[in-house]
Structure 1
């Protein structure tokens, strides 16, 4: 493939075989993508002419060698040292009789898995890779706004193979089981402050596979501290019925417009979400900075569903000494420190402890926290017998 200066955006002609032609992209269905195999390499093709989707599908089905003319070449942000092919409205595709090479089913080489220990050695800042790993534990779970404005569920796991372990963020809901092995394709690798992490993309596929052996030991820094909240910064936003982030919303306005849905909604039908950054003062010296989402914060504060940013901050500042569990600078659990140390909430380990608590003889013993909770028994008969004694 001929190279071109991305600044000049010179139009080129490329030849090869098409495969992995995607469906039309939602929500506007204004483009689709494919992969072009040329020689011993493969390049991503982004097509901005949806009316030619059937033509690209036929070329893939028939394994016809094609010539893409007047396309734009730009460096790939996903694969270091490679070029993406942009097929615009001025580009054309034609089938050619003989390319000289046959379609190679063993390509592309980048679809092969890479070990977790090799990931930090990749020099590119953004790279899509394939891995085989075991889901070791769940770090934290929440929701976040993605690049297209949608508010999606997000779960961060610690995954490991036989060489290393790493943090993997999985967007949307997936049927993932802790302790199982998975083949995970088309995940994006990112490096921030010398720390490598992975995140799923719209093209990611997660497939459960048999055990691949013993994974490396995992050490995730998690700590639980007693602390006082001395600082808070709250960012609140609103979500429409289709989970789009709404900007520049006025809560007092009766309606709000969602550009993604192209629909006006009642403001009362939207949902307010918020995230917080807290400054925590432990009982020991030092200040800890950590973030949290509303799913973690709401159970411990008292505010109305449509509370303002200032009301949320005041409620956070009014909290007593709290017991906070932090994983990778993210608060995963927060509770009143006085309640967490209440002897009545402690685990009963012996008959001697039971006697010291002076429990009534008719009270059922406490179950372990991991047990399934059932409704209390019907005490109607017990109550009636007491009345008879009276």
Structure 2
């Protein structure tokens, strides 16, 4: 029998259920195929087939992908990647005897946090089961494509260890609950391993997995003077892109990323930076501060400049400031001590008493009465 040509060796067939379909990117889109007790990443180089993939995912139909290229995956959680090329074909079969297994995709094999902390070579992406221990701080940051997105940092833990998890964009997360977090990026910064969500991350609530490692990020509240400030302002278009060379007096601003001119009134201004604080005791500290906290203590006018914000900070009186993870999370006035008036200043109101011919003997309070009397006299 003649040996097959290399081209024919690449022709494969896979069958399963589609999920986690992405939007069309430049010239491709991707999805996840659940099949034979596992799941694989599918990369589709036929954008015109996106609607067929969308309908198959929506109806949970069984699909067959013919003439696809299979390649071993670099991720430990997957065995292979499936490449759907211009020669490939897809067909759908509605088979009610088979159904989509939600639990398989929702709970891929999770990695223990202690394993990530001890690995010398970190994997690029992992899935974890962890408990949300504490919200460290909430704010916004610029991502690689120039967008300014919500960013929340949490401390998470499982039964073996703990680390930091950065969650991008808004998610419904409750401190104290357990979650299965898939496709999170593993990073090492300044000798510490941390996790960060990606565009493919899914966060699903799960039952308790046991007693999580106890840990808290230290929170410090100090009374201090603001002796310095360095604040910068960012201008954001309605699609969350950073704008450069903005002129506040101009009626419109141009966003290169959107290729669109926007009204200046539609541009969002955000502030961030750091403060120099001199506590009542100890050395000066220089924590970061973000827009949400800045606006909680200052009234920011739409035309305010960074110099205006800096001057307003310097003019603030003695403040009580809460710092967590070297980030200011709360600013408030120093609580005023209640004034205690002397006995001579207290006004005594005398109510008229009707005369009575009946005499009542006062009760004998015994030791309690005499003790209170001695305490009152000792304070006089």
CA deviations 1:166-205 (Å, max 9, x no partner) are 2222223322222222222222222111212222222222
1:126 to partner: Cα distance: 6.1
Q: 2:205 aligns with which of 208, 213, 227?
A: 208
Partner of 2:321: 324
Distance, in Å, in 2 between the alignment partners of 1:359 and 1:125 is 73
Instruction: Could you tell me which runs of 5 or more consecutive residues in structure 2 were left unpaired when the two chains were aligned.
Output: 1-8, 91-100, 350-380
What is the RMSD of the two structures over their aligned residues, measured on CA atoms? 4.3
Show the 5 A alignment for 1:362-377.
none
Show the 5 A alignment for 1:209-358.
209-301=206-298, 303-335=300-332, 339-344=333-338
Aligned length: 327
Q: Is the 8 A contact 1:144 1:153 kept in 2?
A: yes
Distance, in Å, in 1 between the alignment partners of 2:11 and 2:319 is 62
CA deviations 1:131-182 (Å, max 9, x no partner) are 1122222211222333334333222222222112222222233222222222
Distance, in Å, in 2 between the alignment partners of 1:124 and 1:268 is 49
Secondary structure in 1 aligned to 2:286?
Answer: strand
1:243 to partner: Cα distance: 3.5
Q: 2:117 aligns with which of 120, 137, 152?
A: 120
CA deviations 1:44-101 (Å, max 9, x no partner) are 45445311335667799555364446x9x9996x77999978778xx54368xxxxxx
Secondary structure in 2 aligned to 1:111?
Answer: coil
Q: Is the 8 A contact 2:231 2:273 kept in 1?
A: yes
Distance, in Å, in 2 between the alignment partners of 1:174 and 1:16 is 37
TM, length-normalised to structure 1: 0.67
TM, length-normalised to structure 2: 0.69
CA deviations 1:272-331 (Å, max 9, x no partner) are 111112333334443423211121122333552321122222222333333222111211
Aligned in 2, Cα 1:122/1:37: closer, same or farther, shift over 3 Å? Answer: farther
Secondary structure in 2 aligned to 1:189?
Answer: strand
Aligned in 2, Cα 1:234/1:210: closer, same or farther, shift over 3 Å? Answer: same
Distance, in Å, in 2 between the alignment partners of 1:285 and 1:147 is 39
CA deviations 1:96-141 (Å, max 9, x no partner) are xxxxxxxxx9999x93011222222344456222111222222112
Aligned in 2, Cα 1:275/1:85: closer, same or farther, shift over 3 Å? Answer: farther
Partner of 1:388: none
- Could you say which structure has the larger radius of gyration? 2
Q: Is the 8 A contact 1:170 1:200 kept in 2?
A: yes
CA deviations 1:345-387 (Å, max 9, x no partner) are x9xxxxx99x9997999xxxxxxxxxxxxxxxxxxxxxxxxxx
Instruction: Could you tell me which runs of 5 or more consecutive residues in structure 1 were left unpaired when the two chains were aligned.
Output: 1-11, 96-104, 347-351, 362-390
Q: Is the 8 A contact 1:16 1:36 kept in 2?
A: no
Distance, in Å, in 1 between the alignment partners of 2:26 and 2:346 is 69
Partner of 2:129: 132
Partner of 2:14: 17
Aligned in 2, Cα 1:93/1:160: closer, same or farther, shift over 3 Å? Answer: same
Aligned in 2, Cα 1:32/1:311: closer, same or farther, shift over 3 Å? Answer: same
Q: Is the 8 A contact 1:80 1:127 kept in 2?
A: no
